[in-house]
Structure 1
Amino acid sequence: MMKRFMPVAAAAIVTTTMSLPAFAHSELTASNPTDGQVVKKALDEVSITFSGKIEKGSDITVTDSKGKEVESNDLTIHNTEMTASFDEPLANDDYQVDWNVLSADGHPVEGTYSFSVNAKEVKEEKAAETTTEEKVETKEKEEKPATPTEEEVTGPSVGMLAAVFGGLVVVIGGGLFFLLRKK
């Protein structure tokens, strides 16, 4: 009897463990600005990058030191990167970024990091003279790889639960089949 049950159990274990890597959720790999960074130039967007593709429904919320949310005019999600853009550069202050992403496997992941803006005031005339080329150079200089922040996981993903449940059904069903068949 055990000889018949072992192949079914082995198949269930192999099926369940082979599907686990496909359910890995995205992790934060970079951010601009980075966690703890003091930004010295005008900043009009916040972007974060993840290890895997992120889905629609993901979100970034930026709040100032008083807890007031800074309204973004555009949130773009492109493959592994999410960017929130603002109508005007952020004022000199401390900011907290709360992000909430939905991984390609359906697993929700969230986290928080903070940064400060301490930009020198620029006269309107000088700001108007700034060329697009200078803005691109500034953004390239500001980009630094971020250290991953602590992530809060809200619970097991639907895919993971389905794989575990499916494996259990195969093991139990196979065991019952061979037990009842022998009688």
Structure 2
Amino acid sequence: MKRILIMAASLLLFFPTTTQAHTYLNDSNPQAGADVGQPVKEIILYFDTKVEPQSTFEVVDEAGEVYQTSSTNIEKNVMSGTMTERLTTGTYTVNWDIIGADGHLIQGSFSFDVHADQPRPEQEANGEAQGENRSTSVEHTRSEEQDGTEIDEEKHAESLESDSTDTKTLSQNASSHAHQEQSFPFITMMSIIVLLGGSSFWYVSRRSNG
């Protein structure tokens, strides 16, 4: 009887420990029940303990179609995968199968909604064309601004050259006027000397004749 009680007590102690060691999903991106407004490219699962490399997950839409992942990465308690194609408008379920820290296989799932269409090839092409046109327009505007700047610089240079020419002309006129002003007293003095000399000559000649 004592042996049975001891074994029962041992089992009671063992099972809670085993239960506590199980691994559970803590969080995800997208989150369970989320309503995502853009195409989904990556799924990330966060667990409360480390998960083994053999762990996997899959994504299924409401029609039962399975969407593949290009790669699945596991780092400690995080498992992530990149989708081969973006998940667009629809309801999706993530089914995960992991081997937890206690070595037990644990399964679970959650769902989320996406309300976003993936751009079609022609839309992407139009977007690229618009981007190129916008770039060309910007370059054209810059070119016009540069041309306008060059024209303004040429006009400014011509204006400076014209001002320099006018300054030289004024300087020459002023020099000529100063020269004329300097010549006028000399001519006046010479005229007076000639006049005085003539007058003296006339006076002396008159007295001699007298």
What's the TM-score once normalised by structure 1's chain length? 0.56
| Cα separation, 2, equivalents of 1:64 and 1:46 | 14
1:117 aligns to 2:114 (yes or no) = yes
Q: Name the SS for the 1:21 alignment partner.
A: helix
| 2:105 aligned with 1:105 | no
Q: Which has the higher helix share?
A: 2
CA distance in 2, matches of 1:34, 1:65: 17
Q: Deviations over 1:72-116 (max 9, x none)?
A: 101111111111211331121111111111111111111111111
2:81 to 81, 84, 107: 84
Query: What SS does the corresponding residue of 1:17 show, helix, strand or coil?
Result: helix
CA distance in 2, matches of 1:36, 1:15: 38
Q: Which has the higher contact order (CA 8 A, sep 6+)?
A: 1
Aligned amino acid, residue 72 of structure 2: L
Match of 1:74 among 71, 76, 83: 71
Report the Cα offset of residue 52 of structure 1: 0.8
Contact 1:63/1:97 (CA < 8 Å) preserved in 2? yes
Aligned length: 122
Residue 57 of structure 1 aligns to a residue whose secondary structure is coil
Which residue does 1:139 correspond to in 2? none
Q: Give runs of aligned pairs for residues 26-175 of structure 1, distance below 5 A.
A: 26-119=23-116, 121-122=118-119, 123-124=123-124, 125=127
Report the more deviating stretch, 88-97 or 24-33.
88-97
Kindly name which structure, 1 or 2, has the bigger radius of gyration based on alpha carbons. 2
**Amino acid aligned to 1:97:** V
When residues 77 and 93 of structure 1 are mapped into structure 2, their CA distance, relative to the original with a 3 A threshold, is: same
Shift of 1:20: 5.1
State the distance in 1 between where 2:54 and 2:70 align.
Answer: 16
- Provide, for residues 2-51 of structure 1, a one-character-per-residue CA deviation record: whole Å limited to 9, x for no partner: 9xx68xx49x9569837953661101110111111111022101111111
Indicate if the aligned counterparts of 2:100 and 2:106 stay in contact, CA closer than 8 A: yes
d(CA) in 2 for partners of 1:121 and 1:100? 29
Query: Any idea what SS the aligned residue of 1:73 has?
Result: strand
> Contact 1:40–1:120 at 8 Å: present in 2 too?
no
Q: Which amino acid aligns with 1:44?
A: K
Matched, 1:17 2:13: yes
- Structure 2 stretches lacking a partner, 5+ long: 132-210
Task: Note closer, same or farther for the CA distance 1:93–1:15 as it changes in structure 2 (3 Å cut).
Answer: closer
TM-score (norm 2): 0.50
SS where residue 13 of structure 2 aligns?
Answer: helix
8 A Cα contact 1:28 1:51, kept in partner: yes
